[in-house]
Amino acid sequence: MVGKIALEEHFLCPGFEDYWKATVSDVDPNILTQVVSRLSDFGELRLSSMDRAGIERSVLSIAGPGVQAERDLATAVRVARVGNDFLAREIQKRPDRYSGFGHLPMQDAKAAADELERCMTELKFAGCMINGHTNGRYLDHPSLAPFWERVAALDAIIYIHPTDPVSPSPALDGHKGLRRATWEWTFETGSHALRLVFGGVFDRYPRARIALGHMGETLPFLLWRFDSRAKLYGIKLAKAPSDTIKDNILVTTSGMCSAEPLNCAIAALGHDKIMFAADYPFEQAEEAGHWMDNVALDDNVRADIAYGNAAKNFKLN
């Protein structure tokens, strides 16, 4: 069993339940009860699951949109700080097993930048997780320039996690099974990342980096086409979209225990851009860990993806 750092591992902070409920309204109540118990636990349930999966360290992040769904800025700023302080206290109980991603009030660029800096310098978090758009505003919005300036200055990595789209896609009408985690979130999150690439955010902030789960939300599969269409439509960027994706985007294995997309991501991006994640408790950590241990890889590549790349990129020792 290879040692692992897991990067998309969720928890639920007291007071955040209402923000999260909207994303699980259609989940079976019995399943939901089990998920809530795991999200709220920082002890035996979580640690035993990590042990069975060979996860030495989990980087924890708040489940759901959190304060990004909040309409009042002052409330968002205050509650985000409360949530981050709560996580910091839990990490202090087991600093050998847990690290954290900060939760940010993205309604305001300066408030988000200040809280990111506090999370990384004072609370010693590894970076931050942003749950997609914030009340319909995506991360390429010009008003967020001060946030990206701080991201680059701090050498922070922004993990973009799926959220519900601004409005449900009509292409999926009549097919509930394709909503959310099956397909809708992949399209939503991949599109969000492409807005940053095609919108020139990484031209303006070349040191900025983001991470995407689910083996890159299909982006590694489409690099050639992104370059081809950018030329066709006259998109003016400092370099080809594929080069920006290779230079500025990291991916994790969350929710993708399959060799085929892993091999595609390795071929497209290089194995040094890929890191392990289980997506606990929405996926089984044991299944993800067992797959990582046994998927056909060179042992050095396996060790880098399972542990080494995350340790290097997020400064986790």
**Pairing verdict, β 4-11 and 55-62:** parallel
Grouping H, G, I as helix, E, B as strand and the rest as coil, residue 275 is strand
Q: Which of 118, 206, 297, 62 is nearest to 307 (CA)?
A: 297
In contact, 106 and 68? CB cutoff 8 Å:
yes
What distance in Å separates the CA atoms of residue 262 and residue 266, rounded to the nearest whole number?
Answer: 6
Q: Which residues of the chain form beta strands (DSSP E)?
A: 4-11, 55-62, 98-102, 127-130, 157-160, 209-212, 249-252, 274-275
* Per-residue DSSP letter, 307: I
Beta-carbon-side half-sphere exposure of residue 224 (alpha carbons within 13 Å): 4
Q: CB neighbours of 31 closer than 8 A, spacing ≥ 6?
A: none
Burial class (CB in 10 A: 0-12, 13-18, 19+), 95: exposed
Encoding tokens for residue 166? 């601004």
Whole-number Cα distances in Å, 80 to 41, 62, 105, 228, 231:
20, 10, 6, 41, 41
Grouping H, G, I as helix, E, B as strand and the rest as coil, residue 139 is coil
Kindly name the residue from 227, 279, 293, 299 that is annotated as catalytic: 279
User: Is 279 part of the annotated catalytic residue set?
Assistant: yes
Return the active site residues: 279
